[in-house]
């Protein structure tokens, strides 16, 4: 029961994040500046430490999650470039917008959201202390996931109706992941490798999509400050967890 309650809380956190992004779409450059910081913070202070810990706990060769990291980076890059060239919208490498890119980002977060809920359940399989610690970290960054998904899809010209549909899936996937953990037991090494893949995907998105878009029309110190705020927010959340 506690796993279900905590995954529902995580789902609500993502919903609040998505709603906040929808309300701030008229100032999307500010939202994207914050999101770029959130993405960097998630990779540096949440995903990579989890990978290092998983490598140590499972006596896993670190080359595998790092290989997955590179694959995540390259796969999104290849798919993105294929979409842009196929649709005839690429005019040099720089800030670019296309609805399919927003959908691709949302689909990636659907899988991550499922594993967020699964991670909570797996944590409780170890012990209550580990379960609660994982839940705090997951709930803390679910707001960022909902915010990020919505902002990125809006940036790439997806309709509010389409954004709402994908956000609904992202919101509910942690619950499904938590319920799955009550039925199946998954090897932690497989989760560690997936985290490497997702971290690489996020690094590409943050560096080549979100950050350039955030500063495309506004190169002020404020935009940089919002990025720093996003990083600091995730740092504080992960330290408290």
pLDDT digits 0-9 by tens, 17-66: 777 777 766 666 676 777 778 888 888 988 898 889 889 988 999 999 99
For residue 67, the number of C-alpha atoms closer than 13 Å in the C-beta half-sphere is: 6
pLDDT band at 67 (very low <50, low <70, confident <90, very high): very high
Give which of 241, 11, 48, 1 is closest to 136, Cα–Cα. Answer: 241
| Average pLDDT score, the chain | 77
**∠ CA 135-137-141, rounded to 5°:** 115
Q: How far is CA 211 from CA 29, 44, 153, 197, in A?
A: 9, 16, 15, 20
- Hey, which of 142-156, 170-184, 196-210 has the most confident mean pLDDT? 170-184
Provide the percentage of residues in the chain whose pLDDT is more than 90.
8
What is residue 97's three-state secondary structure?
Answer: coil
Closest CA to 64 of 240, 151, 189: 189
Q: Is the pLDDT of residue 84 over 60?
A: no
Pick the residue with more confidence: 25 or 180? Answer: 180
Higher pLDDT, 193 or 87: 193
pLDDT of 60: 92
Find the mean pLDDT for residues 155-183. 79
Identify whether the C-beta of residue 38 lies closer than 8 Å to the C-beta of residue 216: no
For the cut 70, the answer to whether the pLDDT of residue 101 exceeds it is no
Query: Which of left, alpha, beta for 98 (phi over 0: left; psi -120 to 50: alpha)?
Result: beta
Between 88 and 194, the higher pLDDT residue:
194
Q: Give mean pLDDT, residues 160-185.
A: 81
**pTM to 2 decimals?**
0.66
Burial of 23 (0-12, 13-18, 19+ CB in 10 A): exposed
Closest CA to 241 of 2, 8, 10: 10
Element (H, E) at 40: helix 28-42
What does the pLDDT read at residue 69? 95
Give the contacts of 144 (CB within 8 A, at least 6 positions apart): 17, 35, 38, 39, 41, 42, 230, 233, 234
72 or 155, which is more confident: 72
Tell me the residue length of the chain: 241
Query: Between 172 and 25, where is the model more confident?
Result: 172
Residues 6+ apart with CB under 8 A from 108: 76, 198, 201
């Amino acid at each position: 029961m506690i796993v279900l309650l905590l995954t529902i809380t995580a789902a609500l956190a993502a919903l609040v994040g998505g709603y906040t992004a929808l309300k701030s779409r008229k100032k999307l450059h500010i939202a994207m500046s914050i999101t770029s910081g959130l993405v960097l913070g998630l990779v540096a202070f949440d995903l990579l430490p989890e990978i290092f810990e998983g490598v140590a706990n499972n006596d896993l060769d670190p080359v595998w999650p790092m290989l997955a990291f590179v694959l995540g980076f390259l796969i999104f890059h290849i798919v993105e470039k294929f979409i842009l060239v196929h649709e005839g919208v690429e005019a040099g490498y720089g800030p670019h917008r296309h609805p399919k890119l927003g959908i691709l980002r949302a689909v990636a977060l659907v899988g991550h959201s499922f594993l967020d809920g699964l991670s909570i359940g797996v944590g409780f399989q170890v012990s209550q202390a580990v379960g609660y610690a994982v839940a705090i970290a997951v709930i803390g960054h679910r707001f960022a996931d909902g915010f990020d998904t919505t902002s990125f899809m809006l940036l790439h010209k997806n309709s509010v109706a389409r954004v709402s549909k994908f956000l609904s899936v992202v919101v509910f996937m942690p619950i499904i992941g938590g319920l799955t953990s009550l039925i199946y037991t998954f090897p932690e090494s497989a989760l560690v490798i997936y985290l490497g893949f997702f971290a690489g995907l996020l690094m590409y998105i943050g560096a080549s999509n979100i950050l350039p878009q955030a500063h495309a029309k506004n190169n002020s110190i404020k935009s940089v400050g919002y990025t720093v705020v996003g990083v600091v927010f995730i740092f504080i959340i992960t330290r408290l967890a």
